[in-house]
Amino acid sequence: MLKDIIFSFVIGGVVGMIGHIRKHGKIIMPRKTKRFVYLGFFEEMLLGAIASLLLVVYISPNSYVEKMTISISAGIGGDLVLTGYKQFKQNDSD
C-alpha cells in the first residue's frame, strides 16, 4: 500500500507541474509578497499530488496501469479545480 501511495503522489505531482508549465509557459518560483506567500509551481504540484493520492486510496486499483491512469486523471482534475477557483474569485471581485 505504501508503494501505491508514493507512486500516486509522484505521478500526480508530475502532472501538476506539467499543468503549471502548460499554463504559464515556464516554472514560477515561490515568492513572498507584502500580503501573502505565493507558492508558485508548488501550489499546482501539491494539488495534483493530493488529488491523485486521495483518489487512488479511495478506489484502490489493482494494477499499475490503473493506478497511473487514475493518478493522471486526478492530477488533471486538481488543476481544473484550481483554475475554476481562480476564475470564480476573479469574477466575484468584478
Distance of CA 15 to the CA centre of its chain: 7
Helix (H), strand (E) at residue 66: helix 64-93
Query: pTM for the full model?
Result: 0.74
Tens of pLDDT, residues 8-54:
888 888 888 888 888 888 888 888 888 888 888 888 888 888 888 88
Tens of pLDDT, residues 56-86:
888 878 888 888 888 888 878 777 777 788 7
The pLDDT score that the predictor gives to residue 94 is 62
**Amino acid, res. 74:** A
What are the residue boundaries of the structural domains of the chain, listed by start? 2-93
How far apart CA 58 and CA 60 sit, in angstroms, is: 6
Cell numbers linked to 90 = 476573479
How far apart CA 49 and CA 5 sit, in angstroms, is: 10
